[in-house]
């Protein structure tokens, strides 16, 4: 068997299209119901996807009038999904800027226990660091380096995917 695709279900409350929540088929009344997301994860699992994933940020984004901007906190959400599924991976986003390392590490290791080894951490700021022009302050870079030292192997199970900005220390140092 040759290389195989990795498929991850990226869940936004109402779907990724801005106006998805307005579609007649969208379950707008269930967007705060954990069972809706448990069912999505179960369907992803039935289709043998690698993981489900929640983007996140600790702020209410703009235009709440027009779109489903709320974000339930992903650790608690994923923990509830963990007990409704058996195999599918559970990836949450957590900000290295707004969360203390001890608390973040503990939340992830707890989710890993509760899910029998299915937790993943999307380290926030990947997008910013992966851009052509990096404009992140020295303080923030120092903080990331402290939490995830340059050279840390972040994808042991899957060497095929190495986010360059995190895997390549040169891209993460000010001296690039």
Partner 1 sequence: MTSENSRHLHLNAFLMSTGHHEASWRLPESDPQSSTDIEHYKHLARTAERGKLDSIFFADSPVLFGEVGRRPAGKLEPTVLLTAIAGATERIGLIATASTTYNDPFNLARRFASVDWVSGGRAGWNVVTTAGPDAARNFGVDDQPAHAVRYERAAEFIEVAQKLWDSWQDDAVLADKAAGVWGDSEKIRAIDHEGKHFKVRGPLNVPRSPQGHPLIVQAGSSEDGKDLAARYADAVFTAHQTLADAQEFYSDLKARTAAAGRDPETIKILPGIVPVIGATEEEALELERELDRLIKPEYARIQLAKTLRVAPEDLPLDRQLPEDLPSEDEIEGAKSRYTLIVQLARREKLTVRQLIGRLGGGRGHRTFTGTPVQVADAIQEWFDGGAADGFNIMAPVLPSGLETFVDQVVPILQERGLFRTDYTGTTLRGHYGLERPANRFAGDVAPELTSIGSAF
Binding mask 133-172 for partner 1 (x = CB under 8 A): ----------------------------------------
Of residues 61-80, those binding partner 1 (CB under 8 A): 61-73, 75-80
To the nearest 5 percent, what fractions of the chain are helix, strand and coil?
A: 35, 10, 50
Of residues 4-43, those binding partner 1 (CB under 8 A): 19, 21-24, 26, 28-29, 31-32, 34, 38
Sole binder of partner 1 in the list 111, 129, 144, 166 (CB under 8 A): 111
Whichever of 21 and 169 has its CB closer to partner 1, that residue is 21
For 104, residues 6+ apart whose C-beta sits below 8 A from its C-beta are 94, 96, 121, 147
Distance of alpha carbon 28 from the chain centroid: 22
Give me the phi and psi of 114, to 5 degrees please.
-65, -30
Complete DSSP assignment for 34-60: HHHHHHHHHHHHHTT-SEEEE---SSP
Give the Cα separation of 50 and 55 in Å (integer). 16
Sole binder of partner 1 in the list 17, 106, 162, 173 (CB under 8 A): 106
Sole binder of partner 1 in the list 10, 87, 103, 155 (CB under 8 A): 103
Give the Cα separation of 155 and 103 in Å (integer). 22
Report the nearest approach of partner 1 to the CB of residue 117 (Å): 12
Please report, as ranges, the residues that interact with partner 1 according to CB under 8 A.
19, 21-24, 26, 28-29, 31-32, 34, 38, 55-73, 75-80, 82-84, 93, 98-100, 102-103, 106-107, 110-111, 113-114, 124, 127
């Amino acid at each position: 068997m040759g290389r195989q695709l990795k498929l991850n279900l990226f869940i936004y409350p109402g779907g990724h299209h801005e106006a998805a929540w307005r579609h007649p088929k969208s379950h707008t009344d269930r967007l705060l119901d954990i069972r809706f997301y448990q069912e999505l994860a179960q369907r992803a699992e039935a289709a043998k996807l690698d993981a489900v994933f929640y983007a996140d940020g600790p702020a209410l984004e703009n235009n709440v009038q027009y779109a489903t901007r709320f974000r339930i906190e992903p650790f608690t959400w994923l923990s509830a999904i963990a007990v409704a599924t058996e195999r599918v991976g559970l990836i949450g986003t957590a900000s290295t800027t707004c969360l203390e390392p001890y608390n973040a590490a503990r939340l992830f290791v707890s989710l890993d226990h509760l899910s029998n080894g299915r937790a993943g951490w999307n380290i926030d700021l990947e997008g910013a660091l992966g851009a052509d022009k990096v404009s992140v302050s020295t303080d923030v870079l120092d903080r990331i380096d402290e939490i995830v030292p340059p050279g840390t192997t972040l994808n042991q199970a899957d060497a095929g995917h190495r986010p360059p900005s995190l895997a390549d220390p040169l891209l993460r140092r000010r001296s690039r």
